[in-house]
Amino acid sequence: MKAFRILLRSINDGLRSIFRNFSLSTASILCSTITLILVAVAMVLSANVDNFTKKIEDDMTIVVFLDSKATSEEVEIIRNKIDNIANVDEDETIYKTKAEVKMEMQNESAIFNTVMGDWDEETNPLKDTFQLKVKDIEQINETAKEIENIDKVSTVRYGEGLVEKMVGAFKWIERIAYGAVLALILVTIFLIINTIKLTIFSRQREISIMRLVGASNFVIKTPFIIEGMFLGLIGSIIPVLVVLFGYTTLYDMTHGYLFSPIIQLIKPTPFIYYTSAILVVIAMIVGMIGSARAARKYLKV
């Protein structure tokens, strides 16, 4: 009950203080708004990049054609060699004999079915294959080359070259975005420290009297922490709106994919709600870190 009353008072004090130092409060709120918009963009971007690279990686298969003269022992050796390549996902490697490949193709299309209908084991021109998946799609080129160097492997084929280049580029964009966000968060913390510092200075007299009349450190510190939290919170309003409405609009306008249907966007619900919640939490934490630092430095409690 007592702690609750102190908290209520602190919230009251903290909010009043935001209006009292209006210009500086506005500056730090604006800064956190900009930061958080960028954080939001980075979050949306990286979640989407993550989402469709996973999808692409799932779809992207290397097909290894084996020499038709390879014996079953040799096939086993090749399989071991392939699975020993670090970037190959061993659990996904599938071996298919030419008969199986033929059947699969026949099932897929009626034309294939008639053409291939009278091929038998001897006349079947198809080859035994390994189908495999890689762990890191950016390394797919190197992995393909490595496989090609294995004995009795004729050709290696994998998906479109453009896609994996794009994935690589997006991953770089993601990294740069993270770096920028980190820098901006630091700037915001710095601005909040300064805002709170000013509040502390403007209330020095009150604080010293509070000390003299027996206010505990908790009571003295809490209003400033809450002020910082509110600065962050107010700063997160516009970014949250940007996520809620901006992403939905983007999704509707692009019909859910970018450039090509391979690059699918994440569905807005519940994605935008998670993202907004994370933004609000980040905003409050950034505000509290800033104010806690200022309180520790300038309150000497």
Partner 1 sequence: MKFIKIEDCYKVYKNGVTATAGLNLEIAKGEFVFIIGATGCGKSTLIKMLYREEKPTKGKVIVGGIDVAKLRNSKVYKLRRKLGIVFQDFKLLPKLTVYDNVAFPLNSMGAKKSEVKARVVKALELVGLKEKIRSYPNELSAGMQQRVCIARAMVNGPKLLICDEPTGNLDPETSKEIMNVLDGINKELGTTIVMVTHDKDIVNRMKKRVVLLENGVLVSDELKGKYKAHESI
Q: Which residue has the tokens 């080859």?
A: 127
1 or 253, CB closer to partner 1? 1
Least CB distance from residue 188 to partner 1, whole Å?
29
Residue 268 preceded by cis peptide, ω within 30: no
Least CB distance from residue 217 to partner 1, whole Å?
5
Q: Nearest CA to 61 among 128, 8, 132, 126? A: 132
133 or 221, CB closer to partner 1? 221
Q: Applying CB under 8 A, does 155 fall inside the site for partner 1?
A: no
Size of the site for partner 1 (CB under 8 A): 21
SS3 state at 49: helix
Least CB distance from residue 220 to partner 1, whole Å?
8
Q: Which stretch binds partner 1 (CB under 8 A): 190-198, 209-217, 259-267, 278-286?
A: 209-217
Q: Applying CB under 8 A, does 216 fall inside the site for partner 1?
A: yes
- 94, 186, 281, 301: which one binds partner 1 (CB under 8 A): 301
C-alpha 272/C-alpha 44 separation (Å) is 9
Q: Applying CB under 8 A, does 212 fall inside the site for partner 1?
A: yes
8 or 176, CB closer to partner 1? 8
- 27, 85, 180, 210: which one binds partner 1 (CB under 8 A): 210
Q: Applying CB under 8 A, does 115 fall inside the site for partner 1?
A: no
Q: Which residue has the tokens 């998946």?
A: 133
Side-chain half-sphere of 23: how many Cα atoms within 13 Å?
1
Q: Applying CB under 8 A, does 219 fall inside the site for partner 1?
A: yes
- 205, 253, 255, 261: which one binds partner 1 (CB under 8 A): 205
Exposed/middle/buried for residue 97 (C-beta within 10 Å: 0-12, 13-18, 19+): middle
Q: Which residue has the tokens 């020993």?
A: 84
Q: Which stretch binds partner 1 (CB under 8 A): 59-67, 113-121, 206-214, 241-249?
A: 206-214
**Under 8 Å between Cβ of 101 and 126:** yes
Q: How far is CA 143 from the centre of its chain?
A: 25
Q: In what order do the strands lie in the sheet with 153-157?
A: 88-96, 129-134, 62-66, 153-157
C-alpha 276/C-alpha 177 separation (Å) is 18
C-alpha 301/C-alpha 299 separation (Å) is 5
Q: How far is CA 93 from the centre of its chain?
A: 28
Q: Applying CB under 8 A, does 202 fall inside the site for partner 1?
A: no
Q: Applying CB under 8 A, does 204 fall inside the site for partner 1?
A: no
6 or 105, CB closer to partner 1? 6
- 23, 110, 125, 214: which one binds partner 1 (CB under 8 A): 214
Q: Applying CB under 8 A, does 217 fall inside the site for partner 1?
A: yes
**Under the rule (CB under 8 A), what is the footprint of partner 1?**
1-3, 5-6, 9, 205-206, 208-217, 219-220, 301
